[in-house]
Amino acid sequence: MGLIGTCDDCGIEGVPLRFKPDVPSSEQTRPSICNDCRIEREIVLEESRPAPMFPEEGRLP
For 46-59, what is each residue's pLDDT tens digit? 888 877 666 665 55
For 17-30, what is each residue's pLDDT tens digit? 999 999 999 999 99
Distance CA 6, CA 41 (A): 17
